[in-house]
A and B are shown apart, each in its own frame.
Chain A
Amino acid sequence: QSVLTQPPSASGTPGQRVTISCSGSSSNIGSYAVNWYQHLPGTAPKLLIDGQNQRPSGVPDRFSASKSGTSASLAISGLQSEDEADYYCATWDDNLSGWVFGGGTKLTVL
């Protein structure tokens, strides 16, 4: 059971906009910024958006993030087949004195 809750799956057709939610509590998302990662198992996780809501060089602006209270979300617009991957939210947790990840959301491009 992950400290941060994400839907296990999401899907969309090419060109659509999809959002992935991440729910936490006052000890994590409520107090700290959230990172979002894209991951294909067996490869290096890729930072999509950092805690300052910045996209590293090379990440298209189709990816955006927001946060409100103890929840955060990642939005992907203009969905492309190459976006099919696992997506994770992560942040620091005061109660655990460590980083916590969401359980991950598997995005399928139909």
Chain B
Amino acid sequence: EVQLVESGGGLVQPGGSLRLSCAASGFSFSSYWMSWVRQAPGKGLEWVANIKQDGSEKNYVDSVKGRFTISRDDAKNSVYLQMNSLRVEDTAVYYCGASMDVWGQGTTVTVSS
């Protein structure tokens, strides 16, 4: 069974940092692009970033460029999202996805003073 489990969310002050993790199982992790999407309170889904199978290509939505970094560790079947200089508008549930096909249950990030 394909499973994606996100962790690392929490409450952080504006300007702070968080590192989200996503543990994958049940499929050949190294063969897939991996993505993060988010949903802010009362808003729709927003794609945040993705990373190619070998890590050679990474893409980001404009609003997080220069602040967020996506990475992966195929030995641990995991993908990460390092979030720096967090803003109130980054408050959202963050979902990890495999090839935009299968998604985890999400982890909540709250940026507030």
Contact = CB atoms under 8 A, between A and B. Distances in A.
Interface of A: 2, 35, 37, 39, 41-47, 50, 56, 86, 88, 90, 96-104
A90 B47 contact: yes
Contacts of A101: 37, 44-47
A43 B102 CA distance: 12
B101 A56 contact: yes
Grouping DSSP codes into helix (H, G, I), strand (E, B) and loop, the B interface class, with mixed when no group exceeds half, is strand
A97 B57 CA distance: 11
A102 B100 CA distance: 15
Nearest to B50: A99
B63 to A, nearest CB: 11
Given A44-B104, A47-B101, A47-B102, A103 B61 contact: no
B47 A100 contact: yes
A44 B93 contact: no
Contacts of A45: 37, 45, 95, 97, 103
B60 A104 contact: no
Given A42-B106, A44-B95, A45-B95, A99 B35 contact: yes
Interface residues of B, number: 23
A44 B105 CA distance: 4
Interface in B62-113: 62, 93, 95, 97, 100-106
B59 interface: yes
B73 to A, nearest CB: 22
A97 B58 CA distance: 10
B39 interface: yes
Contacts of B95: 44-45
A98 B60 contact: yes
A39 B104 CA distance: 12
Contacts of A41: 39, 93
